[in-house]
Amino acid sequence: MENLEQGNAEILVMGVGNILLGDEGVGVHAIEYMKDKSFPVKVELLDGGTGGFHLLSLVNEYKKMVLIDAACDGHSPGTVRIIKPKYSSDFPRTLTTHDIGLKDLIETASALEKLPEIYLVVISINTSQPVRLTLSDEIASALPNVYNAVVSSIYRFIKQKSDPR
């Protein structure tokens, strides 16, 4: 887990996934891709690895979070979508055990009434993944779209802040 803090951040941007399973680790690769990018507000970029309860205290520190993860959702590989989940069951299915840990983390934060407002950026991947540390070409080429989706999510937070309906 690597924390790429940008100081006094308003929003946590966390990528999760298992980098040993190639495309399944796209959330982690996205954080690395974005570390030199600019954002409309200060954000904290966090490589959340395979998730889990060790992230609970950090998640509790933020009121807003953009979560980046792979999904086996039937869409074409490389498709990037923004989801506004209300419940842990709104999260798409992933390949590895971080799916369970991440959902447990979200449910626990919700039960403690410490759940930040979340936008989920999902990248569709194939279900069969060979063991490798790199992304496939079609998923790697989606990283600019992931960055754009994260920025779009941040602008949605900004709009909500300025237009409290």
Q: Is the pLDDT of residue 93 over 70?
A: no
How far out from the chain centre does Cα 145 lie? 13
Percentage with pLDDT > 70 across the chain: 79
pLDDT band at 61 (very low <50, low <70, confident <90, very high): confident
- Spell out the domains of the chain, with CATH numbers in brackets: 3-162 (3.40.50.1450)
What's the pTM?
A: 0.85
So what's the pLDDT on residue 143? 99
The Cα angle at residue 23 between residues 156 and 149, in degrees rounded to 5 = 15
Q: Length of the chain in residues, anyone? A: 165
Q: Is the pLDDT of residue 1 over 50?
A: no
> Which of 27, 2, 22 is CA-nearest to residue 121?
27
Q: Is the pLDDT of residue 111 over 60?
A: yes
Q: How far is CA 123 from CA 51, 65, 71, 146, 165, in A?
A: 17, 17, 6, 8, 30
* Mean pLDDT along residues 128-141: 90
So what's the pLDDT on residue 35? 96
Q: Give the neighbor-by-neighbor strand order of the sheet with 43-49.
A: 3-4, 43-49, 11-16, 64-71, 117-124, 80-83
In contact, 43 and 154? CB cutoff 8 Å: yes
